[in-house]
Amino acid sequence: MDADASDGFVLAIASGKGGVGKTTTAVNLGAGLADAGLSVAIVDVDLGMANLGALVGLTRPKATIHDVLSGRAPLEKAFHSAKGITIIPGSTELDRFADADTETLNDVVADLRDRFDVVLLDVGAGLSHDIAASLQAADAVLLVTTAELSSLTDASKTGELVERLDVPVVGATFTRTGDGSFDDVEGIATALGTTDAITVSIPYDTTVHEAVRKGIPVVIYDGDAPASRAYLRLAGRFIDLLDLPVPEPEPDHGFDWVDPESGETVGNGVAEEGGPVIEIPLAELIAAAGLDETDEATAERVRLLERVRSRFS
């Protein structure tokens, strides 16, 4: 499946019921895609129960998708950007839900498609008209579910709705699994008919709760956490499936730390803890730079340079 080179790809993140990690998946998939160099927008189209803003620390956004859909604010006003991700939150006020016009959602999504490489729609749970409108605005759908029977049953219903709307399901993400291995979810994926697509298991990880409390995607909060590695794997699978044009990384013009005893590069621009470190007082470095040109300073600079040279010879 190839994304149109001239437009961004729109992926709906959907589930049959709430509380299965759908918004968490949208945020961390978006963070993983942004980490790969793609421009990403995440939109809260769960118009009745919006919670994307709260998950990323936006408790009082200047404008929301509800304001955009009701004509109270232009789209750009609802942009809230951080770490390469643009968040378009929803409103938690019930009155805003009544004013939102889903008929304009396709136009909003089309605008976002022109601006970003990937647009993630955080879709509400259930089978309402608003949810169907959100799903129809997408190029594909990723189902999110737990291994609980009720969650799987509702995810299957959502999958049936998506099929009737003629929107492809690109796979399923299974949250809060055991050790995160594929064996945990192989039978479930078979039941949902997603074994030939993206199927990623997100292990239960208390680091996710810590990140949520701080309003930070877990892949940014702790990239080495088990859940973070799983979400980054999901982002990689998504990029591969759609053959997304990931930009080339910028050349590294920094420097490497070198162990003066072995001559080997240490780490990636960071000295390893406990490794040998040469400490030279700031005053001596200033003198070595020639900022004090007295005869005494010159002699001291020569002495210092000889000292440094001897340490590396």
The domain spanning residue 134 has which CATH number? 3.40.50.300
Q: Are 236 and 290 contained in the same domain?
A: no
Same structural domain, 191 and 150: yes
Q: Is the pLDDT assigned to residue 124 strictly greater than 70?
A: yes
Q: 202 lies in a domain? A: yes
pLDDT digits (tens, 9 = 90+) for 243-259: 877 776 554 444 344 34
229 and 287 fall within a common domain: no
pLDDT at residue 81 in the model: 87
Helix axes 149-164, 129-136, angle to 10 degrees: 60
Give residue 19's domain range. 9-242
Looking at the structure, tell me whether residues 188 and 92 fall in a common domain.
yes
Q: Which one-letter amino acid corresponds to residue 62?
A: K
Whether residue 235 sits in one domain with residue 267: no
What is the predicted pLDDT for the residue at 119? 97
277 in any annotated domain: yes
If one counts the domains in the chain, the total is 2
Residue 106 has a CB neighbour count (10 Å cut-off) of: 13
Q: What tens digit of pLDDT does each residue of 48-78 get?
A: 778 888 888 887 888 999 889 888 999 999 9
Question: Which of 209, 242, 275 lies at the terminal end of a domain, its last residue?
Answer: 242
pLDDT over 90 at 11, yes or no: yes
Pair 160, 81 in one domain: yes
| The pLDDT of residue 155 | 66
Assess if residue 3 is contained within a domain. Answer: no
What are the b/e assignments for 262-279, b being 16+ CB within 10 Å? eeeebeeeeeeeeeeeee
Domain boundary (242, 265, 297) is at: 242
Question: Is residue 249 domain-resident?
Answer: no
19 backbone φψ class: left, alpha, beta (φ>0; ψ -120 to 50):
left
Q: Check whether residue 271 and residue 139 sit in a common domain.
A: no
The total of other beta-carbon atoms located within 10 Å of residue 46's CB is 26
CA-to-CA distance for 121 and 102, rounded, in angstroms?
Answer: 14
Domain boundary among 242, 275, 297: 242
pLDDT of 274 above 50: no
Mean pLDDT over residues 184-192, rounded? 58
